[in-house]
Structure 1
Amino acid sequence: MQTVAAAVTMVRDDVFFLRAWLRHYGGLLGRENCYVLNHGRGAEVAALAAGCNIIGLPGDPHPNFDMKRWRLLNGLVAGLRGYYAHVIVGDVDELVVLDPAQGSLLDWLADQPGRRVLTPLGLEVIHRPELEPDPVTEVILGPRRHVRLAPLYSKPCILSLGTKIARGGHFTQASKLHTPDPLYLLHLKYCDFATYAEVMDRRNAVAAAAGVAVKEAAIGRHWFAQARGEDRALFDGFADLPLQEGFDLGWVRRRMHRSWRARGETGFWQFDLPDYRQQYLLPERFFGMV
């Protein structure tokens, strides 16, 4: 049994993303090294994640959902670090990938120094319905090859160092920034129009069940119906993002390092999160890996 890396996520009914998460991390790390927090003890989640380490949790609506979730994830990551060199933690629609030109993620992590927090470069996989009319079934990359820069999803999510992770996973208290060139975090929320609409309907229902307004809840604002907007307009808008040539994103990592600083008096560290209005085509070597 390998002890190089484990992966941890929490999921509630998002079986489309869970299937992708399981194919990716289950294949790379082995299901015995995957930890799935089954929020609401969903039967379908439990069946899909068979062979993983499944922790069933009560699913009652709560206005401080995100706060409770990250308190638990922090504790679990801290404990797993005693058994694994690296622990990958994140939402079920976020996957860490290594540029295939550099080999496998597991082998690459085995060669990395310890006592670090690694921050992959965040990319959102976006569905261009006018160019990609077919729905995604299983394999995502290939049928979907457009990505946009997503600084908010450049998350410090691979830990071999004891540190606290902020709610949402966007910041830690590690004071040094490590952004390896071949490492990416793919955010899959927008990878398929029909799936997006279904997932958002469920999340809007969960937020409504909490019975409080956006400002009174520790739940992501994007879970609330009033922050959603019109789905088709959102996806049609992806066509307006200028398409860039090539796939050299070193300039983004350099900007992250230049703006690296303490996040006020919170104890956390951050870089700037500009709104990059551009998109790229993933190189073909990435096709089929997710």
Structure 2
Amino acid sequence: MKAAAITMVHKDYWALRQWYRHYSGALGAENLFVVAHGPDPVVQEICPAASVITIPRDRLQGFDHWRGRLLNGIQRGLLEIYDWVIRTDADELICVDPQLWSSLPKMLAAQEASAIFALGVNVFAPDEASGSPLYQGVFSGHYSKAWAVRQPHDLRRHGVQVRPRRLAEFPYCMPHGVYLAHLKFANRQAATEMADIRTEVAGAEGSGTPGKAWKQAHQEMAAQYAALADLPLSPWEKAEAAAWDALQSPVRDEGISVLRSKSLRFDSRVHLPDWFPPRGD
């Protein structure tokens, strides 16, 4: 069984280091493919043994649509060579519970479905006020995304797009013990630096620049940490089981023929197990 991983990135260096370290350890760096949005020698420095594809950064108009088509095209091409293709953002890591799966490739090899979802976890940096070294997490339906395919299905709107006649019966596969760790807020310094970049990009002149969420990136970061502090702390096992169960009735969007997870919000936080990424700086 042979698997590849692809991502697209612009300057998110801390997250990209995590992505490269994680997937090169799981799959081998020679099986990693990074699309650099704009010339950036730092990307190759961070990912020295990966294949880096540089594309121009001269058009943001319609970004989400053409980005999706581009990555779906690369994904389909890689499936001519690989059994599975993993696709996540640079700040998203797929991790597995070592008590259930000995490795990510072995988990993939055990799956019969042609597309896989993972239970999403928003990861937050340790609480500086308490002095605890433990990362915190909040389970997320929004980030319970489709992340790997072994057949040429397009990924769209955090789900998998299939032919309309197959949508009703297409299997929603979210294996136990498989998680999508979303690292946007897992490092406070990196989150602040990326908020600066998003604010700058959103404030640029011309059409097609990102909207309100990017213009208010610092406010969003502050709001996320404030909301986290207000959530009660639950044991990992209890909160994980409740979140997994709640997501087992997916959305089958007939308008765009996409199967996706419900965008549920969960009302507790957890301390992450010690095997959960990230690992240092």
TM-score bin (small chain)? 0.7 to 0.9
Q: Give the unaligned 5+ runs of structure 2.
A: 163-169
Query: Does 1:153 find its partner at 2:143?
Result: yes
Identify the residue that residue 192 of structure 2 maps to in structure 1: 197
Amino acid corresponding to residue 182 of structure 1 in structure 2: G
- Partners in 2 of 1:232 and 1:288 — Cα distance? 21
Q: Which moved more, 1:25-34 or 1:266-275?
A: 266-275
- Partners in 1 of 2:2 and 2:141 — Cα distance? 27
Query: Which structure has the highest strand share of the two?
Result: 2
**Contact kept? 2:95, 2:276, Cα under 8 Å:** no
Identify the residue that residue 139 of structure 1 maps to in structure 2: none
Identity %: 31
Local SS of the residue matching 2:35: strand
Q: Once the 2 structures are TM-superposed, how far is the Cα of residue 77 of structure 1 from its aligned partner?
A: 0.6
Q: Once the 2 structures are TM-superposed, how far is the Cα of residue 129 of structure 1 from its aligned partner?
A: 2.8
Local SS of the residue matching 2:248: helix
Change (3 A) 1:52 1:42: same
The Cα offsets for residues 186-221 of structure 1, whole Å up to 9 and x where unpaired, read as: 000011222111111112222323634xxxx48475
Q: Once the 2 structures are TM-superposed, how far is the Cα of residue 240 of structure 1 from its aligned partner?
A: 0.8
Amino acid corresponding to residue 103 of structure 2 in structure 1: S
- Partners in 2 of 1:176 and 1:18 — Cα distance? 31
The match for 1:89 among 87, 91, 101 is 87
Amino acid corresponding to residue 98 of structure 2 in structure 1: P
Q: Once the 2 structures are TM-superposed, how far is the Cα of residue 270 of structure 1 from its aligned partner?
A: 2.8
- What aligned pairs does 1:23-34 form with structure 2 within 5 A after superposition? 23-34=21-32
Amino acid corresponding to residue 64 of structure 2 in structure 1: D
Amino acid corresponding to residue 86 of structure 2 in structure 1: I
Identify the residue that residue 183 of structure 1 maps to in structure 2: 178
- Partners in 2 of 1:132 and 1:191 — Cα distance? 16
**Contact kept? 1:121, 1:154, Cα under 8 Å:** yes
Q: Once the 2 structures are TM-superposed, how far is the Cα of residue 144 of structure 1 from its aligned partner?
A: 4.2
- Partners in 1 of 2:227 and 2:50 — Cα distance? 38
Q: TM-score, normalised by structure 1?
A: 0.85
The match for 2:247 among 249, 256, 260 is 256
- Partners in 2 of 1:269 and 1:254 — Cα distance? 17
**Contact kept? 1:100, 1:286, Cα under 8 Å:** no
Change (3 A) 1:16 1:67: same
Identify the residue that residue 138 of structure 1 maps to in structure 2: none
**Contact kept? 2:201, 2:209, Cα under 8 Å:** no
Q: Once the 2 structures are TM-superposed, how far is the Cα of residue 283 of structure 1 from its aligned partner?
A: 2.2
Amino acid corresponding to residue 49 of structure 1 in structure 2: C
Q: Which moved more, 1:244-253 or 1:11-20?
A: 244-253
Local SS of the residue matching 2:146: coil
Amino acid corresponding to residue 145 of structure 1 in structure 2: Y
Q: Once the 2 structures are TM-superposed, how far is the Cα of residue 131 of structure 1 from its aligned partner?
A: 2.7
- Partners in 1 of 2:139 and 2:246 — Cα distance? 13
Identify the residue that residue 35 of structure 1 maps to in structure 2: 33
Local SS of the residue matching 1:251: helix
The match for 1:172 among 160, 163, 179 is 160
**Contact kept? 1:163, 1:173, Cα under 8 Å:** yes
Q: TM-score, normalised by structure 2?
A: 0.87
**Contact kept? 1:10, 1:92, Cα under 8 Å:** yes
- Partners in 2 of 1:288 and 1:198 — Cα distance? 18
- Partners in 1 of 2:50 and 2:234 — Cα distance? 39
Q: Once the 2 structures are TM-superposed, how far is the Cα of residue 233 of structure 1 from its aligned partner?
A: 4.9
Q: Once the 2 structures are TM-superposed, how far is the Cα of residue 229 of structure 1 from its aligned partner?
A: 1.7
The match for 2:49 among 51, 67, 87 is 51
Amino acid corresponding to residue 284 of structure 1 in structure 2: D
Q: How many residues align?
A: 270
- Partners in 1 of 2:104 and 2:197 — Cα distance? 32
Q: Once the 2 structures are TM-superposed, how far is the Cα of residue 277 of structure 1 from its aligned partner?
A: 2.1
Q: Once the 2 structures are TM-superposed, how far is the Cα of residue 177 of structure 1 from its aligned partner?
A: 0.4
**Contact kept? 1:62, 1:210, Cα under 8 Å:** no
- What aligned pairs does 1:272-287 form with structure 2 within 5 A after superposition? 272-286=262-276
Change (3 A) 1:288 1:193: closer
Change (3 A) 1:200 1:288: closer
Q: Which moved more, 1:83-92 or 1:123-132?
A: 123-132
- Partners in 2 of 1:235 and 1:273 — Cα distance? 20
- Partners in 1 of 2:148 and 2:211 — Cα distance? 22
Change (3 A) 1:132 1:18: farther
Q: Once the 2 structures are TM-superposed, how far is the Cα of residue 245 of structure 1 from its aligned partner?
A: 2.1
- Partners in 1 of 2:24 and 2:121 — Cα distance? 22
**Contact kept? 1:89, 1:158, Cα under 8 Å:** yes
Local SS of the residue matching 1:238: helix
